[in-house]
Structure 1
Amino acid sequence: MTLNKSQIHFPQRIICLTEETTEALYMMGEEDRIVGISSYTVRPARAKQEKPKVSAFIDARIEKIIALEPDLVLAFSDMQADIVKQLIQQGIQVHCFNHRTVKGILQMIQTLAALIGEPAKGQKLIHTLQQNIARIEAKVAQLSLRPKVYFEEWDEPIITGIGWVSEIVTLAGGNDCYPSHAQQSLAKHRIIEHPEDVIAHQPDIIMAAWCGKKFQPQQLIARPGWQSIPAVMNAEVHEIESSIILQPGPAALTDGINAVYAVIEQWHQRQLAATDIKGNRHA
């Protein structure tokens, strides 16, 4: 039996347990479908005022979710596996995304748009995000230097950036110090066992977004031996707001990649200026 679109029930009451699907639905103009969100949601800012908060990240108010009568709950990653299990046991329809790459972010949007029966809106949003990536790539093509970048996602233990973060560093003009770690989907496999290993990489720039808490640059700089790292010696230690880089959704491909590029471009300008000063001194 073949069903046409008018015969298919697309979800009208959606709960988003993470921020990226909330933001994507708002950007597609489909926010009226959302009946519950994560308490960590900050994008868009108005979502927290408009929508009930039903979850943190690894915890959720199952009773409240059930009371909201969702016809679809959207989750993300193995970290929410227990929540997903409980909801499925209650007979609730759940889709759990598990993407870790830039391509995966775009595919998530495509899948989400299909789930709500609005594939054209998904394609429009994807095109907008791809345009921004292309804009950044065009700017990067004008840079003559590529810095070594160490990205820190957590401090105790030290965890380096996940897949899409590493890709964004590369797209924005840097060379990630830990590309092999970035291929690991689980945080426990991205732990830097020996902090002195970062020293050996001699990154030109350090970027950090400590997931869920404020980055403390002085704590990082005070680590034994880290004062010999070029990024530390040259005051190239920068915070990237976690909400724009650590959620695998539109934010990472808009404000996130823009912020990473801005740090790299400014470093590039300082390197050229320093080279010019040295050249003039020897002239």
Structure 2
Amino acid sequence: MLQIKDQLQYEVRIPSRPRRIVSVVPSQTELLFHLGLDEEVVGITKFCIRPEKWFRSKTRVGGTKTLDLEKIHALQPDLVLANKEENQQEQITALQAAFPVWTSDIQTLDAALQMITAVGEITERAEKAQALRNTIREAFDNLRITLPRTDLHAAYFIWRNPWMAAGGDTFIHHMLSLCGFTNVLGGTPRYPEAPLEKLPVIFEAVPAEKQLILLSSEPYPFKEKHIAEIQAVLPNAQVRLVDGEMFSWYGSRLLKAPGYFKALLQGIQ
């Protein structure tokens, strides 16, 4: 029996080698696949789209915030992998009463790397997890060294009607900073509403050539047609559609993020 603290500092007692894992976080599901835990993972959410073969074959246990607790109980997991932000506390508390639940809390790259190490230790994939961690760290270190200088101020939108963006207390905010962007909503908590009519005020101290709007592919699927809505109120801002997984998935997807960020910056420059 392994006794280990999760990222909320709760002590979790887990079988020495979990054989029935339910993952209720898409980016952590992809990490489990990367670590080679195909047989061990028995349940995922309807948003765990990677890998596609798991999405097609594994039992789906509802959405990240609308878990089907009966389905999870039927799977009899010996480990549930959750996340503070992506899952509802009430549902996680209910699961903790019946199963070992290890919960991540990730707002920075360092916290993501700590999660990867911990999951590797828990699942007896420590060596592979450490190699993944080292590769990701090296890639982000190289990004920092080669990053072009930029004074761009960005708003990163995640939703429309109401328009909502990433605030300072988020993993997305940290990814923006690693790209060299200043988050214009960095002084706000979590995911504030940012109505389009207020954008000129939000950006009033930022020169037009330094204004950047990023429209994420998830959770709201922004498209080209939405760019015009932004430019109607900020006509001189640069507006880009971006891959939300690169900014918000904190598992093995981080392998691809530095290359994506570098290409994005080159396109903006």
- Place the TM-score, normalised by the shorter chain, in its bin: 0.7 to 0.9
Q: What is the CA deviation profile of residues 102-141 of structure 1, one whole-angstrom value per residue up to 9, with x for unaligned ones?
A: 111111111211222332222111011112212322321x
Figure out how many residues of one structure are paired with residues of the other and give that number: 249
CA distance in 1, matches of 2:256, 2:161: 27
Deviation at 1:261, TM superposition (A): 2.8
Question: 2:158 is paired with a residue of what secondary structure?
Answer: strand
Deviation at 1:209, TM superposition (A): 1.2
Q: TM-score, normalised by structure 1?
A: 0.77
Listed as ranges, the gaps of 5+ residues in structure 2 are 4-14
Whether 2:48 is the aligned partner of 1:47: answer: no
Which one has a bigger Cα radius of gyration?
Answer: 1
CA distance in 2, matches of 1:218, 1:248: 29
CA distance in 2, matches of 1:173, 1:223: 22
Write 1 or 2 for the structure with the bigger share of helix: 1
Q: Residue 118 of structure 1 corresponds to which residue in structure 2?
A: 125
Instruction: Give the alignment of 1:80-91 within 5 angstroms.
Output: 80-89=88-97, 91=98
CA distance in 1, matches of 2:80, 2:149: 46
Question: 2:248 is paired with a residue of what secondary structure?
Answer: coil
Q: Residue 6 of structure 2 corresponds to which residue in structure 1?
A: none
Deviation at 1:224, TM superposition (A): 8.7
1:158 aligns with one of 163, 169, 184: 163
Question: 1:65 is paired with a residue of what secondary structure?
Answer: helix
Q: TM-score, normalised by structure 2?
A: 0.81
Larger mean Cα displacement after TM superposition, 27-36 or 202-211: 202-211
Percent identity (aligned)? 19
Deviation at 1:222, TM superposition (A): 2.5
CA distance in 2, matches of 1:26, 1:67: 22
CA distance in 2, matches of 1:145, 1:64: 49
Q: Residue type of the partner of 2:111?
A: G
Deviation at 1:214, TM superposition (A): 1.3
Write 1 or 2 for the structure with the bigger share of strand: 2
CA distance in 2, matches of 1:68, 1:176: 42
Q: Residue 267 of structure 1 corresponds to which residue in structure 2?
A: 268
Listed as ranges, the gaps of 5+ residues in structure 1 are 269-283
Q: Residue type of the partner of 2:261?
A: V
Report the CA distance shift for 1:224/1:95 in structure 2 as closer, same or farther (over 3 A).
Answer: same
Report the CA distance shift for 1:137/1:260 in structure 2 as closer, same or farther (over 3 A).
Answer: same
